[in-house]
Amino acid sequence: MYCSILILIVTSCNTDDRDGMTENICALSQIDDGIRILEYKYNITGDLFRINVYPSPLPENTNPAASFFRSQITKDSIIVGVMQNLVTNGRVLISAKYENDLLLEVKRFYASGNTNNFRFEYEGASVTVFLSFTENNTTTNLERGLYTFDTNQNIIAFDRYVFDVNNQEVLLGSIDYEYEPDAFNPRKALLFPTFFEQNLPDASFFSTDSASKKTIGESAINFSIETNENDKVNVITDLTNFETEIYSYLNCNE
């Protein structure tokens, strides 16, 4: 059915950096996690329009393993889909709807016609995300995520609830976060790959800074964070699982 993988200003939530809106200054150009490379391509006005996926490490003269288009349909609507070939857009995989720059809804479409549905509600110092699954015109509630912000616009707590057979909520688990001060978070607001993973979004989708520690029950995961000369995060290493992500950027010196 599905796979298991805003900004707060004192008392209100707001976001004005929707997916792909960069003004072409120090724009994220690549994420390399050691397994795959995501390449982000921008048009002359600085808007994201293409995402290419390559294996990592990248062999010479390698074509993308997959390519996706990103298109802004209206001021408040964005779609992401698979490229049919180098110039033709194919099936839509993700649609996102905003209102006054707040993300309200994301749908993840499958070839079967089924969808994962993400609904966002904002209240005070938190955002709640409801995840449901639609199959044959029947919608089933799956999960609810409660994300709590601090005054630095970062998620400090995430509570994950699932729905039982009686459609009653059960707390599945909680995660607490600590942050590196002023460590720019390169994954903030990225629709791809966030909603291709099909789970509730990670806290990094909302947070301004990059997390330096994540605590799940009695277990803690620590991260080292390296920045470049433009104060952009370019290496994040999971010190517990020994996994590294490398981030690259465009036009940082302009």
Mention every residue, 6+ apart, whose C-beta is less than 8 A from residue 194: 187, 201, 202, 205
Delimit the domains of the chain by residue range.
Answer: 7-19+91-248
Q: Is the pLDDT of residue 25 over 80?
A: no
Looking at CATH, the fold of the domain delimited by 7-19+91-248 is given as: Porin (2.40.160)
Contact call for residues 45 and 24 (beta carbons, < 8 A): yes
pTM of the model: 0.86
Mention every residue, 6+ apart, whose C-beta is less than 8 A from residue 177: 154, 155, 156, 157, 158, 203, 207, 211, 213, 214, 215
* Each residue's pLDDT tens digit, 89-102: 899 999 999 998 89
Backbone angles phi, psi at 191, to 5 degrees: -65, -35
* Each residue's pLDDT tens digit, 225-252: 999 888 889 999 999 999 999 999 998 7
